[in-house]
Structure 1
Amino acid sequence: MTLLKCATHVVADLPAAVDRYRDWMGYRLVEQGAVPPDLAAAWQAPASAGRGYALMQPASGEAVFLRFVEGDPVPGYAPIRSYGWAAIELCVSDVEAVNLRMLESPFEVIGPPRELDGFATVKPMQVRGADQETVYLTEILAPGPETGLPQPRSLVDRPFIMVLACPDLRKSAQWVKDVLGLPVIDPVAIRYSMIKLSFGLDEDAKTELVTAKGAGQVFLELDQYPEGATERPRHPGALPPGVAITTMLHPDLARLEGHWAAMPVVREGPLYDGRRSGVLVTPEGALLEVIEGGEL
């Protein structure tokens, strides 16, 4: 089981985003509407109230979602350049087949399939969509409890890891341990193609990262961003551009007392399922929505 429940991305054209993920990723629309004012307030984004949203589910039927929320483009925003949630990572059953599909799609392939330096258990590729969303599409070469990685059940399956860009990796990793109570691996330094490309780093440059596991599966990755990374620009009172929110399960909301940016309340719908949900803010200012449930 995964603790990850949803990745939320801000988009300029909501119907186009829904069509893109339906036609090329195999996702289906399960809920749509306007963001309620109380939910926008919980997200620290009152200006996002009333904007359209769509919740989509992978073809596998896994109850781990993508959510798109309408927002106005932000001048100066560039993906993989600022702190906060950096990318959505979806697990796939055959990355070479996905690559062929993406080459025919409106997504731009920015990283073809390749083995990942230091991680022999996965084979990722990367694409970018019309809303500047960066999506990792990762074949799981060694699923199971030993690796903490899932077995995809459709060509493109659910989000399985969310990537957080950090100005201080060790500080953020300690926050994940102390606040969320999750085990975090020691930092690993790898050649990270997307960060090298975005920051113009030397070919041999390495990036430190850690991963965190819950309920037996890896679902968070924290990356140390290099010099040149910035705070994410945003419109006043609105959700930040790019990946705006990660939503996870946590079985012990009492543990999080004293850390809430928005106190838990009961919410309905396919994502919340009538459970309590509140909002935390990570050390870099990223929104982490927490729904009661799951097991650590």
Structure 2
Amino acid sequence: MSIGPISLVTILSPELDQSVAMYQKAFEWQVASVNPQITPEQAQRWGANKLAGAPTVTVAGINGGVRFIQSQEHQTPVPLKTFGWSALEVCVDDVFFYTDRAIKAGFTLLNEPVALSGSDKPLPLIAAQLAGINGEVLYITQILDEMPNFELPNVKKESGSIFICVLGASDLEASRKVLEEGFGLRRASDRHVAIKVLNKVYDKPLTDTHRLSSLQLNGRNAIEIDQMPAEAVNRVVKDGLLPPGISIVSVVGQSDQEIFLKLPDGAGLEILPHN
């Protein structure tokens, strides 16, 4: 089964209104749905029975959106300190403009906009990393040119769209194997690079390198898998709830029904029927 593009990123939050407002102010996203409750069938499929009946709000851009689920019981993780889905990445046509907007909207700057590093030279990407209030990390990325071996969005037409989700893995190869073998995803990259935001969060030299590998999705989207530092820990998941922070990434797939599976490190992947 082929999958992509990314449709939804699901995040638990005690503050739905504030969470939604931050993404609206940063990217001018629109509220797509308000207060549809999580059904018992959804909660059971996710293994999160306590979320049955929980209100939700979804806010979305041109492509992709964020679904916030009301929860008061979870323990919000420290951004980038745990395994699992760690970040959503939004492409823009002016990274400096949107980074400034995101800071004014309430996001916390983790790393200022800088050119991303390839194995031997900078990539045609400039990205900033910021933290939301629910343990999620937001990458804001300007795509300057075509990326070798990648299919990425045209930011002139799709500025403000989610195009990558980042999986922080305890074992990069184990997580990648599940996605490659389960969905036939093409490996677009595998390299060791200095990920400055990880080095800052873990108080390491900025030149320390980390392994990352990206897998191409349909719809000019991708999944990036980062090998997390040894100091990272498992996310605290309370009985009957989803993992806090980014809980689930939902992608469109060739299926006539919703499918849910857990990747390594408890990362939820949901396959939504292709309309």
Normalised TM-score (structure 1):
0.84
Runs of 5+ consecutive residues of structure 2 not aligned to the other structure: none
How far did residue 206 of structure 1 move?
0.6
Cα 1:50–1:102, aligned 2, differ >3 Å: closer, same or farther?
Answer: same
Whether 1:292 and 2:246 are equivalent positions in the alignment is no
Quick check: 1:71–1:239 contact (8 Å CA) kept in 2?
A: no
Q: Deviations over 1:262-286 (max 9, x none)?
A: xxxxxxxxxxxxx521101112221
Give the secondary-structure state (helix, strand or coil) at the position aligned to 2:100: helix
Matches of 2:14 and 2:237, distance apart in 1: 14
Paired residue type of 1:30? A
Paired residue type of 1:25? F
Give the secondary-structure state (helix, strand or coil) at the position aligned to 1:188: strand
How far did residue 156 of structure 1 move?
5.0
Cα RMSD (Å): 2.2
Cα 1:146–1:223, aligned 2, differ >3 Å: closer, same or farther?
Answer: closer
Matches of 1:107 and 1:216, distance apart in 2: 28
How far did residue 220 of structure 1 move?
0.3
Quick check: 2:25–2:102 contact (8 Å CA) kept in 1?
A: no
Cα 1:123–1:158, aligned 2, differ >3 Å: closer, same or farther?
Answer: same
Higher RCO (CA 8 Å, separation ≥ 6 residues): 2
Which residue of structure 2 lines up, in the alignment, with residue 17 of structure 1?
19
Whether 1:158 and 2:139 are equivalent positions in the alignment is no
Show the 5 A alignment for 1:108-147. 108-118=108-118, 119-143=122-146, 147=150
**More displaced stretch, 209-218 vs 31-40:** 209-218
Give the secondary-structure state (helix, strand or coil) at the position aligned to 1:47: helix
Which residue of structure 1 lines up, in the alignment, with residue 8 of structure 2?
6
Which residue of structure 1 lines up, in the alignment, with residue 83 of structure 2?
83
Runs of 5+ consecutive residues of structure 1 not aligned to the other structure: 254-274
Paired residue type of 1:285? G
Give the secondary-structure state (helix, strand or coil) at the position aligned to 2:266: coil
Quick check: 1:74–1:234 contact (8 Å CA) kept in 2?
A: yes
Give the secondary-structure state (helix, strand or coil) at the position aligned to 1:66: strand
Cα 1:152–1:186, aligned 2, differ >3 Å: closer, same or farther?
Answer: closer
Quick check: 2:58–2:68 contact (8 Å CA) kept in 1?
A: yes
- Identity across aligned pairs (percent)? 24
Whether 1:282 and 2:257 are equivalent positions in the alignment is no
Paired residue type of 1:195? L
Q: Which runs of 4+ in 1 moved over 6 A?
A: none
Normalised TM-score (structure 2):
0.90
How far did residue 155 of structure 1 move?
8.4
Which residue of structure 1 lines up, in the alignment, with residue 233 of structure 2?
230
Whether 1:148 and 2:129 are equivalent positions in the alignment is no
Cα 1:83–1:239, aligned 2, differ >3 Å: closer, same or farther?
Answer: same
Paired residue type of 1:230? V
